[in-house]
Amino acid sequence: MQSVSAIIKPFSKRFIGGETLPEAIETLRRLKKEGFMTTLDFLGESNLSRVDAQKATAEYIENLNVLKKEGLDRNISVKLTQIGLDIDENFTKENLIEIVKVAAAMNGFVRIDMEGSPYTEQTLRLAVEAHKKNRSVGMVLQSMLRRTSEDAVHLLKEAIPIRLVKGAYKEPPSIAFTDKKDVDRQYVTVMKRLLTSGIYHAIATHDEKIIKEGMAFVKKEKISKDSFEFQMLFGIRNKFAKQLVQEGWRVRIYVPYGEFWFPYMVRRLRERKENIWFVIKNIFRG
């Protein structure tokens, strides 16, 4: 029988923008032609050696330079465990600040992805510190976490741009909503708060019902379509994303690339039972 990774690999092509940077650049070019904005994510997480964390930091900086050279969006998404959070917070801060400095110098932007709850507190702290030094950095909040409404209030006071997501990590009920209805309810409440904050935020979801509720709210409150953006993951709800662009909404696609795609793919599979069925069918075929 094949390994799980070998079975998932063909399926991963749908969700990953390329295994190498040149492949990812091609994907970004195509998306740009279609009217999308993009953010590039160099896949990787949980680096346990300083050397690997420094290599990842260098790769992010290289990404920014290549994006600038290619005339593409100078916008990247970074995971803090990839640049040292499992090793040392100060070391991570130095790496993050270095990346943000390069982004700021070219008028670019760094979004700090939010990982599982063991990292929430440190990630928020580092984001606030990095933002105090340089405003070219933003944060992610997950509506599945009970604490998120309060975190939103705190980050709004600091005027930090937020990407709002539902949350992709398995969390204990003591800190996270287990019922999808509660996750969605908090998403909508926080979304409305963000949209009326006067800060440029990102509404990151493929949930058509929530997106439509956001659009209706924006219309009712006479909020400019340019004052925020929708975000979606590469390979999910493509037609719907294109439709939004055609209707004049700002849409950014999150494009992951690299060889370390396995944990990212597992999160994408878990989100939808049809994806899991696909893998199971292939196990029995293989």
Ligand X SMILES: Cc1cc2nc3c(=O)[nH]c(=O)nc-3n(C[C@H](O)[C@H](O)[C@H](O)COP(=O)(O)OP(=O)(O)OC[C@H]3O[C@@H](n4cnc5c(N)ncnc54)[C@H](O)[C@@H]3O)c2cc1C
Binding footprint of ligand X on the chain (CB under 6 A): 113-114, 140, 142, 165-169, 204-207, 231-233, 236-237, 254, 268, 271-272, 275
* 43 or 204: CB nearest ligand X: 204
CB 251 to ligand X: min, Å? 10
CB 149 to ligand X: min, Å? 16
* 105 or 262: CB nearest ligand X: 262
Tokens linked to 209: 């019902």
Tokens linked to 71: 């005339």
CB 39 to ligand X: min, Å? 7
CB 51 to ligand X: min, Å? 25
Name residue, tokens 């662009």: 245
DSSP for 138-194, please give it. Answer: EEEEETTBTTHHHHHHHHHHTT--EEEE---S---TTTB--SHHHHHHHHHHHHHHH
Residue of 41, 73, 113, 184 marked catalytic: 113
Residue of 41, 73, 74, 163 marked catalytic: 163
- Of 224, 180, 222, nearest to 201 by C-alpha is 224
* 49 or 234: CB nearest ligand X: 234
Name residue, tokens 């953006």: 229
Known catalytic residue at 113: yes
Element (H, E) at 119: none
DSSP for 205-238, please give it. Answer: ---HHHHHHHHHHHHHTT--GGGEEEEEETTSSH
Going by the DSSP 8-state scheme, the letter that residue 202 receives in this structure is E
CB 205 to ligand X: min, Å? 3
Measured distance CA(161)–CA(139) in Å, rounded? 6
Going by the DSSP 8-state scheme, the letter that residue 84 receives in this structure is T
Catalytic residues: 113, 163
